[in-house]
């Protein structure tokens, strides 16, 4: 397997495509997608823009839809939910489609939406992801971090490093090797890493320590979001 890590969607080559792409936004989009599907959502449909989301949402049956949106860490006015994995109880989400847009995470998902297999990864579902990648044995995998407004993101690089470290024998690019080294250094203290990151500090100032603690829980969810059609993510059952 050829494994390439990119620290932001801006760094992804314009030409070429992998057999499988993995999008990461630990704080908090891909964590929230996994949590929503784990709470029984029918699917999560992601959008980069608010107006596009509203148009698609209005075309879906009223009792089967719910909006989730965030800009700059805050819930978008008029949306039912913000980008918190702790605000997704089954009684609200069961069998509903979640229409979602966030500052950073949905951008990386949209950048890779043309890939034959697109997965959403975070620390909470690493084991599910690694099990799937090992079973499928793709020739090439691109791991795309979301970053923060075009800049490097420590927590996303840490998650990418966990993926790189978990796939033995992969032919990795330098970014993957560096990310794996970061993971090895911090793997026993994921919450401390998230708290020390710039994005973690932004969320902490908003009083979102519980969100950070949830996002730092390695392998807490047996859920793997996989794209079934462009922009639409459903639950791929983990195959043991």
Each residue's pLDDT tens digit, 5-59: 999 999 999 988 999 999 999 999 999 999 999 999 999 999 989 999 999 999 9
Residue 240 lies in a domain: no
Domain count, the chain: 1
Residue 18 lies in a domain: yes
Which H or E run contains 151?
A: none
d(CA 108, CA 12): 10
**Is residue 238's pLDDT more than 80?**
no
Q: Can you give the pTM of this predicted structure? A: 0.95
Residue 112 lies in a domain: yes
Q: Kindly report which listed range (60-69, 179-188, 231-240) carries the lowest average pLDDT score.
A: 231-240
Residue 197 lies in a domain: yes
Calculate mean pLDDT across residues 208-223: 98
Residue 135 lies in a domain: yes
pLDDT at 107 (0 to 100): 81
Residue 149: pLDDT band with limits 50, 70, 90? confident
CA-wise closest residue to 64 among 97, 111, 105, 109? 97
What values do phi and psi take at 109, rounded to 5?
-65, -40
Sequence-distant (≥ 6) Cβ neighbours of residue 201 within 8 angstroms: 195
Residue 49 lies in a domain: yes
Residue 218 lies in a domain: yes
Sole residue written with tokens 């599910």: 128
Which CATH number does the domain housing residue 225 bear? 3.90.1560.10
Domain range for 9 is 2-234
d(CA 37, CA 225): 7
Residue 239 lies in a domain: no
Calculate mean pLDDT across residues 176-199: 98
CA-wise closest residue to 22 among 140, 143, 127? 143
**Is residue 239's pLDDT more than 70?**
no
């Amino acid at each position: 397997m050829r494994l390439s890590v990119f620290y932001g969607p801006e760094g992804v080559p314009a030409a070429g495509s992998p057999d499988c792409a993995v999008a990461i936004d630990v704080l908090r989009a891909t964590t929230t997608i996994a949590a929503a599907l784990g709470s029984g959502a029918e699917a999560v449909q992601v959008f980069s823009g608010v107006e596009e989301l509203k148009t698609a949402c209005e075309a879906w049956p009223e009792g089967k839809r719910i909006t989730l949106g965030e800009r700059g860490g805050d819930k978008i006015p008029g949306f039912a939910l913000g980008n918190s994995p702790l605000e997704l109880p089954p009684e609200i989400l069961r069998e509903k489609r979640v229409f979602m847009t966030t500052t950073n995470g949905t951008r990386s998902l949209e950048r890779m939406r043309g890939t034959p297999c697109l997965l959403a990864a975070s620390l909470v579902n690493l084991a599910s992801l690694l099990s799937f990648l090992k079973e499928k044995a793709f020739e090439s995998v691109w791991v795309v971090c979301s970053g923060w407004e075009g800049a490097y993101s420590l927590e996303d690089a840490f998650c990418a490093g966990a993926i790189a470290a978990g796939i033995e024998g992969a032919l990795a690019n330098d970014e993957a090797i560096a990310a794996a080294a970061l993971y090895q250094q911090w793997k026993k203290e994921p919450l401390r890493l998230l708290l020390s990151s710039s994005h973690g500090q932004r969320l902490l100032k908003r009083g979102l320590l519980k969100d950070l603690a949830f996002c730092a829980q390695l392998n807490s969810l047996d859920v793997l979001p996989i794209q079934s059609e462009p922009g639409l993510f459903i639950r791929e059952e983990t195959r043991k």
